[in-house]
Structure 1
Amino acid sequence: MLITLFLTFLVSSAFAKKDTALPRLNDTKAAEAFIDSAEVVVIGFLEGEESHGYKELVAAAERVESVPVAICTVKEVWADYKLSSDTITIFRKADNHQDNLVVADAKKLDADGLVNFITVNEIRYITEYNQVSAVGLFNSEVKTHLLLFANRGTKEFTELKEQLRALAPEFTGKFLFVLINGAVKSNSRSLGYFGIKSQDLPRVGIYDGSSDMKWLLPVGEISTEGVREFCQSFLRGELKDVKQAGAEPKTEL
């Protein structure tokens, strides 16, 4: 009898664990708190465990551990995010944006596709540039990028990355802060576009996608206040008449 009860408990526990694999958000307050809990989060606005996309999202969440994932089955909450049907949504603070993947519109919905959806759109306060992140960066409505060029492995790399990450929230919706690792050969084209080389780093630049113009912060110590003023100078329109980076050898702001 005791053995039967023990086995029943184990089975029940296993199913309970499976059902609660992802946090449940039962009201708008819980959803808001979850969205505010990290730089990037994903919420599956789905009717329930039997919905198409639920199992796929659970599988994807196990593979993308850096992004918190939750489920919301309460349609009153969906309305607060302007959603009316099953949708998998990624929320990001860097540009105050939500990207919606409407389940009914997806030609193919599997774990691999959801991992790709999350990874491509995983824009953070400072995002490292690569072939995958480039898609999300250039698809963002924020077209101006503050670029940190630094060589991974150097003392400056980690220090400056954290320094700019702390500054980035001040410019939410105005700039995307992007880290470009100069030690990666494939990034040499980005450096060349600014007229700099790996041995010149670290450097800080601004790229404005709307005008296709670029500028470099002058050579010297990279400080939080200096970068802040560089960004504000752009926003005030003071860089428009300044010679662009890469226009000629050793061009400076």
Structure 2
Amino acid sequence: MPQSINCRVGCPESEAPNTETRAWSESRKMEAMPSRCLFLLFLSTCKLSPEVVAEVQESSDGPGAQEPMRLTDVQAAMEFIAAAEVAVIGFFQDSEVPAVSLIHSVVQNFQDVSFGISTASEVLAHYNITGNTISLFRLVDNKQLDLKGEDFESMDATKLSRFIESNNLRLVTEYNAITAIGLFNSMIPIHLLLIMNKASSEFEENLHRFQEAAKLFPGRILFILVDSGVKQNEKAISFFKLKMAELPALAIYQTLDDKWDTLPITEVLVEQVQNFCDGFLKGKGLRQNNEAKEKTSKVEL
């Protein structure tokens, strides 16, 4: 079962990194230190009933996205969570609490997130819920992030949306000012970046292979997309001493000691990504930011 973490609603907004003025490591230091509260786990897969898979797909892709799924027992809740990369569930002791309508009000804004509601006492007990709580479940690092107590009581649509946006980490997460909060607060210490222009004609095919490679490192490496066509991402790219002529590229970063390495590529190949990650995990090719200038320069602009 996912590790339950109590989250403060106000923290992410006050701690959000300024991606226009900070490099990747500067953002990392500002964000990771205050909230190293997550544990490194990964969700065990289970066989899903066709009904649950169909309902989850409908909640993400079709008209059903307007209505949260009612979860009446533990098995239904477990299958619902396991079938989604990111799921948000309102656990309520009373179906008449105002937060029920609050969840309904934000569902339409998150087409890629599965929403559910449960008032069943056995379900609440299974997930260690002792009061009205809104929980976000994340497949990529097996986290259960809880909004409860005072944070639940002061919840409104804006705060709930902010909470979901900042913690919406996926198999491959696009880096921006909002997702940076969740990325930098994760206890997974290694980040692999695909730095590539999303406007490229080869982007979709390369992204698909990058997603396939991400499945090889569950709970060990966060896979991140950085759009090199976005001006606000220039600081993050410059941290790795990469020039535009060297893109697309892979950049791998260890958050605990700022060690990193890069690999300019022409296309994403699953085996190439796997070898690059395996080498870094074994300590090969590690570099530190203050040593980069002494390294042999690559292609100049």
Q: TM-score scaled by structure 2?
A: 0.71
Runs of 4+ that moved beyond 4 A: 218-221, 242-246, 249-252
- Aligned residue among 70, 75, 93 for 2:139: 93
C-alpha deviations, 1:99-155, integer Å up to 9, x for none? Answer: 111154446211111111111100000011000010111011212101000011112
- Aligned residue among 124, 141, 145 for 2:187: 141
The aligned length equals 232
* Contact kept? 2:133, 2:152, Cα under 8 Å: no
Change in CA separation of 1:177 and 1:161 when aligned onto 2, cut-off 3 Å: same
* Contact kept? 1:88, 1:103, Cα under 8 Å: no
Higher relative contact order (CA 8 A, sep 6+): 2
**Pairwise CA distance, 1:78:** 1.9
Change in CA separation of 1:50 and 1:194 when aligned onto 2, cut-off 3 Å: same
Aligned partner of 2:200 in structure 1 is: 154
Aligned partner of 1:41 in structure 2 is: 87
Aligned partner of 1:67 in structure 2 is: 113
Aligned partner of 2:70 in structure 1 is: 24
Aligned partner of 1:172 in structure 2 is: 218
* Contact kept? 1:183, 1:198, Cα under 8 Å: no
1:98 aligned partner, one-letter code:
Q
**Pairwise CA distance, 1:244:** 6.2
SS where residue 112 of structure 2 aligns?
coil
1:180 aligned partner, one-letter code:
V
2:85 aligned partner, one-letter code:
E
Aligned residues: percent identity? Answer: 36
1:88 aligned partner, one-letter code:
I
SS where residue 235 of structure 2 aligns?
helix
Alignment of 1:88-237 (within 5 A): 88-106=134-152, 108-217=154-263, 219=265, 221-237=267-283
C-alpha deviations, 1:209-248, integer Å up to 9, x for none? Answer: 11111111255553110111111222223344x5769802
1:129 aligned partner, one-letter code:
Y
User: Which protein shows a greater Rg?
Assistant: 1
Q: Distance in 2 between matches of 1:244 and 1:131?
A: 22
Q: Distance in 2 between matches of 1:66 and 1:138?
A: 21
* Contact kept? 2:198, 2:228, Cα under 8 Å: yes
C-alpha deviations, 1:153-199, integer Å up to 9, x for none? Answer: 11232222111112212212111100000011111111111111333
- Aligned residue among 292, 295, 300 for 1:247: 292
Q: TM-score scaled by structure 1?
A: 0.84
Aligned partner of 1:6 in structure 2 is: none
Q: Distance in 2 between matches of 1:246 and 1:42?
A: 43
Q: Distance in 1 between matches of 2:292 and 2:244?
A: 18
Q: Which runs of 5+ in 2 are unaligned?
A: 1-65
**Pairwise CA distance, 1:37:** 1.8
2:215 aligned partner, one-letter code:
P
